[in-house]
Amino acid sequence: MSKNDILLDIKNLKIEGFSDEKWHPIVRGVDLTLRRGQIMGLIGESGAGKSTLGLAAMGYTQPGCRITGGEIMFDGVDLAKLSEGKKREYWGNRITYVAQSAAASFNPAHRLIDQTTASTIRFGIKPETEAKADAVTLYDALNLPNPSTIGNRYPHQVSGGQLQRVMTAMAMSPRPDLIVFDEPTTALDVTTQVEVLTAMRKVVEEFNTAAIYITHDLAVVAQMADFIKVLRHGNEVEEAPTRNMLSAPKEDYTKSLWSVRALEKEPTQEQTPILEIKNIDAAYSKVKVLNDVNISVPRGSTVAVVGESGSGKSTTARVITGLLPPMTGSIEFDGATLPNKLEDRSKEQKRRIQMIYQMADTAMNPRQTVREIIGRPLEFYLGLSG
């Protein structure tokens, strides 16, 4: 390939973030070269700088961050030197982004198909009728159910996994030169994940699009990426073609990421369960979601609830926590029957059953500090303050 094939060329990029009254390095002199039609996988632990680098490839930095060195050459233009107005001519048109949290990315008041086609229509790429027909084609390619009608729904009317795929269709709609995928399949079950990754790969190849795929999942990066770049604490550890990286990593840190550790804990012997849900039926409006579900959780054990997107996993959690009262059935906790509705449960019952949501960014109040968020339940349930 010649230099003309290079779409993105990042050199010696340095980014800092502001916290605790001073600036801290987040990305430390990283290089990245991406050709048209190639997919680069960025992998590393939480805090490695993956998302910061991926956003920087668009010429964007999050609030509280700044670019302090290097260049971001996109098709011959240094995005780092452009004004915000000039950058917006690229965003949603030649460069698109697929976020990790679909729920936080959609306007709840607009239909899915209107949001999918907004950029395509706005930039004059296609007229409305053609753009909507193309959206249906993308829905079908991404294995969404009822592709011809699902776009008429609102974000809250589809499952989290389905919403993630709609967001991918939105990013693909204007046929961009570069797509930045920020862990978009995290919310999907394994079966659907494989299908969606295959569809993503197909579209990237078909339209000769370049892509950056951010992930911590080796199985995903192995399927999706042509090259893998490993990051740690904002530094590049190593980069190689995917096959070489998976079969023969050079650095010890990369080898440690590749190693698989088996669970050492022996399965818990059968004992009196701390939680039992029996013969649970549940519905949203008149649409039945759970049918005769039974789960028993032994004390000190972890029970995994597995199923495809839309199968009722999250609904089961909502029933257990009292957020969605079941139509029929019972919930027994530590030998006592729990009231179906959360408001009918005692303060102690509420304290003992807690829920960790899929997306932290939509579950927390953005107007509160971390101290306030953590402090509220400590004060409410345990009487702690200070």
Establish if 265 belongs to a structural domain.
no
What is the rounded CA–CA span in Å between residue 50 and residue 99? 13
Cβ contacts of 215 within 8 Å, gap of 6 or more: 41, 42, 43, 50, 183, 221, 224
Q: How far is CA 253 from CA 105, 123, 232, 250, in A?
A: 34, 44, 9, 9
Domain CATH code at residue 283: 3.40.50.300
Where on the phi/psi map is residue 274: left (φ > 0), alpha (ψ -120 to 50), or beta? alpha
DSSP-assigned beta bridge partners for residue 227: 40, 241
Q: Tokens 């295959």 belong to which residue?
A: 198
Gyration radius of the chain's alpha carbons: 23
Give residue 22's identity as a one-letter amino acid code.
Answer: K
Establish if 268 belongs to a structural domain.
no
Say if residue 367 is in the same domain as residue 279: no
Say if residue 209 is in the same domain as residue 304: no
Torsions phi, psi for 361 (to 5 deg): -70, -30
Q: What is the residue-wise DSSP string for 97-134?
A: EE-S-STTTS-TTS-HHHHHSHHHHHTTSS-HHHHHHH
Nearest residue to 362 (alpha-carbon basis) of 105, 62, 65: 105
Q: Give the model's pLDDT for residue 357.
A: 85
Say if residue 119 is in the same domain as residue 194: yes
Quick one: 174 exposed, middle or buried, by C-beta within 10 A (0-12, 13-18, 19+)? Answer: buried
Establish if 266 belongs to a structural domain.
no
Torsion over CA of 313, 182, 46 and 188, rounded to 10 degrees? 20
Say if residue 226 is in the same domain as residue 316: no
Q: Give the model's pLDDT for residue 87.
A: 95
Helix, strand, or coil (residue 255): helix
Q: Can you give the pTM of this predicted structure?
A: 0.73
pLDDT tens, N- to C-terminus, the chain (386 residues): 455 689 999 999 999 999 989 999 999 999 999 999 999 999 998 889 999 999 999 999 999 999 999 999 999 999 999 999 999 999 999 999 998 878 888 999 999 999 999 999 999 999 999 999 999 999 998 888 999 999 999 999 998 778 888 998 999 999 999 999 998 887 677 777 787 788 788 878 888 889 999 998 888 888 899 999 999 999 999 999 999 999 999 999 999 888 754 455 565 566 789 999 999 999 998 889 999 999 999 998 899 998 877 789 989 999 999 999 999 999 999 999 999 999 999 999 999 999 998 777 778 888 999 999 999 999 999 999 86
Give residue 68's identity as a one-letter amino acid code.
Answer: T
Establish if 267 belongs to a structural domain.
no
Q: What angle do CA 334, 315, 269 make, to 5 degrees?
A: 40
Cβ contact 107:115 at 8 Å: yes
Say if residue 285 is in the same domain as residue 230: no
Q: Give the model's pLDDT for residue 154.
A: 96
What is the rounded CA–CA span in Å between residue 28 and residue 173? 34
Q: Give the model's pLDDT for residue 1.
A: 46
Q: Give the model's pLDDT for residue 264.
A: 53
Establish if 288 belongs to a structural domain.
yes
Q: List strands edge to edge, sheet with 287-298.
A: 287-298, 273-284, 328-333, 336-337
Say if residue 171 is in the same domain as residue 204: yes
DSSP-assigned beta bridge partners for residue 293: 280
Q: Tokens 């999918």 belong to which residue?
A: 116
Q: Give the model's pLDDT for residue 262.
A: 45
Say if residue 23 is in the same domain as residue 99: yes
Say if residue 71 is in the same domain as residue 218: yes
**Domain that includes residue 376, residue range:** 358-385
Cβ contact 213:221 at 8 Å: yes
Helix then strand count (H, E) for the chain reads 14, 14
- Please tell me the total count of domains within the chain: 3
Cβ contacts of 335 within 8 Å, gap of 6 or more: 272
Establish if 53 belongs to a structural domain.
yes
Say if residue 349 is in the same domain as residue 362: no
What is the rounded CA–CA span in Å between residue 242 and residue 224? 9
Say if residue 227 is in the same domain as residue 305: no
Q: Give the model's pLDDT for residue 260.
A: 53
Q: Give the model's pLDDT for residue 187.
A: 66
